[in-house]
Amino acid sequence: MSSIFVFLRSVEMPEKKRANQDKNNDRNKLYREATKRIKKAKQDGYYLEAITLIESLIADRLESYIEKEANQPEGFRTLERNIKVARQHINKSPIPEAQEILPYLEKIKSWSRSRNEMLHQAVKIEEGEDKSWDSTMEKASETVEKGETLFREVSSVIRRIKKQQRLHTQEESRSS
């Protein structure tokens, strides 16, 4: 009898670079459309769709922060990898306000677990568990609400930090 072993490794997205500021107008349009789509998905009960869009928005905000800290375009990453890379940049950042992101990284990690459960275990039943579609969708709805709140909070703190990054860069330019 032979055994088959499967080794899992972290999956990275194909190497693509995030467009920087010259695409902000397009990005703003995409954000508006994604926000509208999230609202519609919630109204229609398509919570899993809303969750995936929220994840994309949160990941983009983290990538935006990382790009500004690294001072170069960065590649697309999974949410988990973005959390790790953001933490590395926070620890090296000359901007004291960067520390404000740390509690949000933990919140994102926690939300991500709910997201994973909703998207990957929606129809799976754990031993000893009672589960129905209605209870799954109720939990998915809660995940959407928490994700939207988290996205707004993360956006706000990253906006403030990026402003401090710009000021720091201007001060460095003047003193050079």
In a domain, 164, yes or no: yes
- Per-residue confidence band for 17, with pLDDT thresholds at 50, 70 and 90: low
Residue 73 · residue 18 · CB < 8 Å:
yes
pLDDT tens readout for residues 105-147: 999 999 999 999 999 999 898 898 888 999 999 999 999 999 9
Structural domain includes residue 127: no
Confidence of residue 7 (pLDDT cuts 50, 70, 90): very low
C-alpha distance from residue 89 to each of 83, 147, 167 (Å): 10, 23, 18
The stretch 100-109 carries a mean pLDDT of 96
Is 106 a domain residue? yes
Residue 1: inside a domain: no
Tokens of residue 104, six digits: 């949000």
Look at residue 12 and tell me if it is in a domain. no
Residue 23 lies in a domain: no
**pLDDT of 61-96, one tens digit each?**
999 999 888 877 777 888 999 999 999 999 999 888
Residues of the chain above pLDDT 70, percent: 87
3-state secondary structure of 17: strand
Any domain includes 16: no
Range of the domain at 63: 28-121+134-169
Say what the pLDDT of residue 33 is.
Answer: 96
Report the chain's mean pLDDT, rounded to a whole number.
87
| Domains: count for the chain | 1
Q: Are 161 and 65 in contact (CB under 8 A)?
A: yes
* Residues recorded for the chain: 176
Query: What pTM was estimated for this model as a whole?
Result: 0.83
Question: Phi, psi (5° rounding) for residue 14?
Answer: -55, 150
